[in-house]
């Protein structure tokens, strides 16, 4: 039997909330915290992808809280993979589907493969596997890194994605040493976009902006090849705020310029939403103090810490070659 290459599904962008499908493929039966934005990412991600999708997830809150013994909110096929293996799971599954279809052992049809990982599993432990996957252009799979800025599932340990100065169980503020964590957050999406010429699509999203997020998932799956999306997810437990403010904190992270919304498609950079307005000078960045002061993880900050944080964000916007994306400076 001759094998015809199966192309990715064409998933048209949603024009607004009215066009979004009512079907849910991530339903009730999970045990994430109230106000958990990472759970919302799962719900939106699979709503955008549709039911012809296989989801793979590395260890973390979105595995543990979503698959308590004998229960699961996943309506589509889903599999757990080891903490550092989202990249390998995505590539292996995409390759297996291709081989089974080529051998005629299953019907040739487009099936989406999405592997998700947390920031610990993606930006730290699984970085090499994700990087390797993004070099294999022949396989269609999306890796989505949901970033709650800590190893949340094991009680909020510091990750490479934790913001400067934040209180975590690995960086508690003390009387002698107020700031235990002095490293600036990893630039994961910028790193993936700049370093992987075979990857057609890298994007940043925030579940506060749900339609934007779903459309970027749809674009990634439609373009095909290995693709990568980084989402910033407010986490009431780790960030220490009232769950009712999850959406608002996502909005503030974007408006402060801490987490720019953009996509890089075939090397072309496009800014989105509030970030686009900031880049075009149509709005001004909200001072970071308004964002930091809302979260218990920064409660130990003094004025000088807030000023340092603001200066670093200013640098991202005023000195970087591509604002918020590429941290090089020109002579």
Chain positions contacting Mg ion, by CB under 5 A: 118-120, 148, 152
Quick check: 56 binds ligand TPP (CB under 6 A)? Answer: no
Exactly one of 6, 20, 33, 326 binds ligand SF4 (CB under 6 A); that residue is 33
Given the rule CB under 6 A, which of 55-63, 99-107, 181-189, 214-222 is the region that contacts ligand TPP?
Answer: 55-63
Q: At CB < 8 A and 24+ separation, what contacts does 79-82 make?
A: 79/54, 79/55, 80/56, 81/56, 81/57, 81/115, 82/58
Using CB under 6 A as the binding rule, the residues of this chain from 77 to 96 that contact ligand TPP are 83
Q: Shortest gap between Cβ of 82 and ligand SF4 (angstroms)?
A: 19
Quick check: 119 binds ligand TPP (CB under 6 A)? Answer: yes
Exactly one of 57, 92, 163, 236 binds ligand SF4 (CB under 6 A); that residue is 236
Angle of helix 246-255 relative to helix 37-49, nearest 10 degrees, comes to 80
Task: Give the C-alpha distances (Å, rounded to integers) separating 68 from 71, 212, 305.
Answer: 6, 30, 40
Using CB under 6 A as the binding rule, the residues of this chain from 282 to 301 that contact ligand SF4 are none
**DSSP state for residue 33 in the 8-state scheme:** P
The residue nearest ligand TPP at its CB is 118
Q: Are 76 and 100 in contact (CB under 8 A)?
A: no
Exactly one of 203, 235, 254, 264 binds ligand SF4 (CB under 6 A); that residue is 235
Exactly one of 53, 59, 133, 148 binds ligand SF4 (CB under 6 A); that residue is 148
Q: What are phi and psi of 265, to 5 degrees?
A: -115, 120
Given the rule CB under 6 A, which of 31-39, 51-59, 66-74, 221-229 is the region that contacts ligand SF4?
Answer: 31-39
Using CB under 6 A as the binding rule, the residues of this chain from 128 to 187 that contact ligand TPP are 148, 150-154, 159
Task: Give the C-alpha distances (Å, rounded to integers) separating 163 from 76, 182, 307, 326.
Answer: 34, 9, 14, 18
Per DSSP bridges, beta strands 53-58 and 112-118 are parallel
- C-alpha 280 chain-centroid distance: 25
DSSP string, 100-114: HHHTTSS-----EEE
Q: Shortest gap between Cβ of 69 and ligand SF4 (angstroms)?
A: 17
Exactly one of 9, 14, 26, 32 binds ligand SF4 (CB under 6 A); that residue is 32
Q: Which does 237 bind (CB under 5 to 8 A by kind): ligand TPP, Mg ion, ligand SF4, none?
A: ligand SF4
Quick check: 61 binds ligand SF4 (CB under 6 A)? Answer: yes
Pinpoint the alpha helices (H) of the chain: 37-49, 61-64, 86-102, 119, 127-133, 188-195, 210-223, 236-239, 246-255, 273-279, 288-292, 303-318
Burial of 302 (0-12, 13-18, 19+ CB in 10 A): exposed
Quick check: 54 binds ligand TPP (CB under 6 A)? Answer: no
Q: Shortest gap between Cβ of 61 and ligand TPP (angstroms)?
A: 3
Q: Which does 65 bind (CB under 5 to 8 A by kind): ligand SF4, Mg ion, ligand TPP, none?
A: ligand SF4
Among candidate residues 257, 311, 264, the one with its CA nearest the CA of residue 285: 257
Quick check: 36 binds ligand TPP (CB under 6 A)? Answer: no
- C-alpha 208 chain-centroid distance: 13
Task: Give the C-alpha distances (Å, rounded to integers) separating 309 from 149, 278, 292, 322.
Answer: 16, 18, 9, 19
Q: Shortest gap between Cβ of 60 and ligand SF4 (angstroms)?
A: 8
Nearer to ligand TPP, 60 or 224 (CB): 60
Given the rule CB under 6 A, which of 58-66, 131-139, 255-263, 269-277 is the region that contacts ligand TPP?
Answer: 58-66
Residues that bind ligand TPP (CB under 6 A): 59-62, 83, 117-121, 148, 150-154, 159
Residues that bind ligand SF4 (CB under 6 A): 32-33, 36, 38, 61, 65, 148, 152, 235-238
């Amino acid at each position: 039997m001759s094998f015809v290459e199966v192309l990715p599904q064409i998933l048209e962008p949603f024009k607004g909330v009215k066009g979004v499908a009512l079907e849910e493929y991530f339903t009730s039966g999970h045990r994430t915290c109230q106000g958990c934005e990472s759970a919302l990412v799962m719900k939106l991600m699979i709503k955008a992808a549709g039911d012809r999708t296989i989801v793979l997830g590395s260890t973390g809150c979105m595995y543990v809280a979503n698959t308590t013994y004998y229960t699961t909110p996943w309506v589509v096929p889903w599999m757990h993979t080891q903490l550092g293996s989202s990249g390998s799971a995505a590539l292996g599954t995409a390759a297996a589907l291709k081989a089974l279809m080529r051998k005629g052992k299953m019907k040739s049809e487009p099936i989406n493969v999405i592997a998700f990982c947390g920031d610990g599993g993606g930006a730290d432990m699984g970085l090499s596997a994700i990087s390797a996957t993004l070099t294999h252009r022949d396989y269609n799979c999306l890796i989505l890194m949901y970033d709650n800025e800590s190893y949340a599932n094991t009680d909020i340990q510091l990750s490479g994605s934790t913001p400067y100065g934040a209180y975590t169980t690995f960086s508690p503020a003390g009387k002698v040493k107020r700031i235990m964590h002095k490293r600036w957050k990893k630039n994961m999406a910028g790193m993936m976009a700049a370093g992987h010429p075979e990857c057609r699509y890298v994007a940043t999203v925030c579940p506060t902006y749900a339609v934007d997020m779903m459309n970027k998932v749809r674009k990634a799956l439609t373009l095909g090849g290995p693709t990568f999306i980084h989402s910033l997810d407010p986490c009431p437990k780790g960030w220490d705020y009232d769950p009712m403010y999850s959406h608002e904190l996502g909005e503030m992270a974007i408006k402060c310029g801490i987490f720019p919304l953009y996509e890089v498609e075939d090397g072309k950079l496009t800014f989105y939403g509030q970030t686009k307005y900031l880049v075009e000078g149509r709005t001004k960045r909200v001072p970071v103090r308004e964002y930091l002061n809302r979260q218990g993880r920064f409660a130990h900050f003094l004025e000088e810490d807030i000023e340092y944080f603001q200066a670093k964000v200013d640098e991202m916007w005023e000195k970087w070659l591509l604002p918020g994306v590429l941290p090089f400076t020109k002579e």
